[in-house]
Amino acid sequence: MPTPFVAGAVVYAKDVPRISTFYSELAGLSIAHSEPGYVVLESAGFQLVIVAIPAHIAASLEVTVPPQRRENTAIKLVLAVPSIARARLVAPSLGGGLNPAEREWQFQGSCVCDGHDPEGNVVQFRQNAL
């Protein structure tokens, strides 16, 4: 049975499986549903849907290695992680990355650090204080 919906976000991706794996591994989101063209990831009360960019649009998008960050957007996804240090170590193996430790900051009792997914979408990761 799906987790009751409280809040969520949608990320459009050129490579749905790769982006889904990135968010699932780093943020501990479970795959709740998967079909060609989209994957639904969930945690308690949060749902992240990874949707395939339409082929005619995806064909015009280039994802560089490493990905160029897409920082000029109005919205930034924020996800909780158990450990920012661990996320920083794991993210490159999944195609993404986090800023170095000296660029972390404290916000509302959490350690915070920006990073990016394998397609360059900027994401903020938050580790709750222990």
CB count within 10 Å of CB 51 equals: 15
**Residue 25 φ then ψ, to 5°:** -70, -45
Which residues in the chain come in under a pLDDT of 50? Answer: none
Specify whether the CB–CB gap between 47 and 30 falls below 8 A.
Answer: no
- Position 45 scores a pLDDT of 84
Residue 119 is predicted with a pLDDT of 96
Query: Could you confirm whether domain 7-55+65-128 is CATH 3.10.180.10?
Result: yes
